[in-house]
C-alpha cells in the first residue's frame, strides 16, 4: 500500500483556502491541476509503496517519535512554488507560525524511520499545503493580492495515511493517529 505521514488541518481552514485563494486563482491558471480540499494536508514524510505487514513497525516508530514532541500551534502565511514561484511545477501555501516545531517533527520522523529502510529526504523540509500542480513549469506572472488565512490551528498528532490513486485524484485514508505527548 502507498503510505505517507502528515499533519491534518481543520476543515474550516481548508475551506477558507479553497474560497479565498483557489477561488481567486482557478480562472487565472487554467492549466493547473488543483488538489481537492479534502485531500490537502501537511506532508511530513512520503513513504511510497510499503508491504502491508510493515504498517505495525512503522506505527511503532511513529509512536516513539510522537512521544518526543509537544503539541504546538501553526498557521499559514505565504504562497510559493517549487522550484520557485516565477516558474512553478507546484503551487503551495506555506506554514508560518509553527514552522520550526513542524520541521523538528519532520526531522524526528526522518530519523525514526531511517532504521526501517526509509531514505531521508535529500532537501530541507518546508511545511506546505499543495494547492496545484502544473504539467510542466510555467510562468504564472504576478499573482493578485490574496488573503492567506492566518487562523491558528493546533497540531496535536501526526497521521499515517494510505493513498489510493484513482482517475479523479488520490483518496486518502487515515490509518492511525499518533498524539504528540512530550
Q: Which of 5, 1, 82, 9 is nearest to 45 (CA)?
A: 5
b vs e for 26-59, b when ≥16 Cβ sit within 10 Å of the residue's Cβ?
eeebeebebbebeebbbbbbebeebeeeebeebe
11 CB-contact burial (10 Å; exposed 0-12 / middle 13-18 / buried 19+): exposed
Which one of the listed residues 37, 128, 140, 153 is annotated catalytic?
A: 128
Cβ atoms of 69 and 170 closer than 8 Å = no
Q: Which of 70, 176, 90, 69 is nearest to 135 (CA)?
A: 90
Q: Catalytic annotation on 41?
A: yes
Which one of the listed residues 14, 40, 41, 69 is annotated catalytic?
A: 41
Dig out the grid coordinates for 157 from the structure.
498528532
Q: Catalytic annotation on 166?
A: no
Residues classed as catalytic: 41, 128
Amino acid at each position: 500500500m502507498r503510505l505517507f505521514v502528515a499533519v491534518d488541518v481543520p476543515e474550516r481552514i481548508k475551506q477558507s483556502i479553497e474560497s479565498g485563494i483557489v477561488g481567486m486563482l482557478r480562472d487565472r491558471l487554467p492549466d493547473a491541476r488543483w488538489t481537492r480540499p479534502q485531500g490537502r494536508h501537511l506532508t511530513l514524510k512520503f513513504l511510497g509503496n510499503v508491504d502491508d505487514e510493515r504498517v505495525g513497525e512503522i506505527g511503532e516508530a511513529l509512536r516513539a517519535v510522537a512521544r518526543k514532541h509537544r503539541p504546538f500551534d501553526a498557521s499559514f502565511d505565504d504562497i510559493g512554488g517549487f522550484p520557485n514561484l516565477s516558474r512553478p511545477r507546484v503551487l503551495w501555501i506555506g506554514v508560518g507560525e509553527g514552522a520550526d516545531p513542524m520541521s523538528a517533527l519532520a526531522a524526528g520522523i526522518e530519523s525514526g524511520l531511517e532504521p526501517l529502510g526509509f531514505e531521508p529526504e535529500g532537501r530541507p523540509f518546508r511545511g506546505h499545503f499543495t494547492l496545484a500542480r502544473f504539467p510542466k513549469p510555467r510562468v504564472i506572472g504576478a499573482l493578485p493580492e490574496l488573503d492567506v488565512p492566518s487562523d491558528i490551528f493546533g497540531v496535536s498528532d501526526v497521521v499515517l495515511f494510505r493513498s489510493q490513486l484513482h482517475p479523479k485524484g488520490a483518496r486518502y485514508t487515515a490509518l492511525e493517529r499518533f498524539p504528540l505527548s512530550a
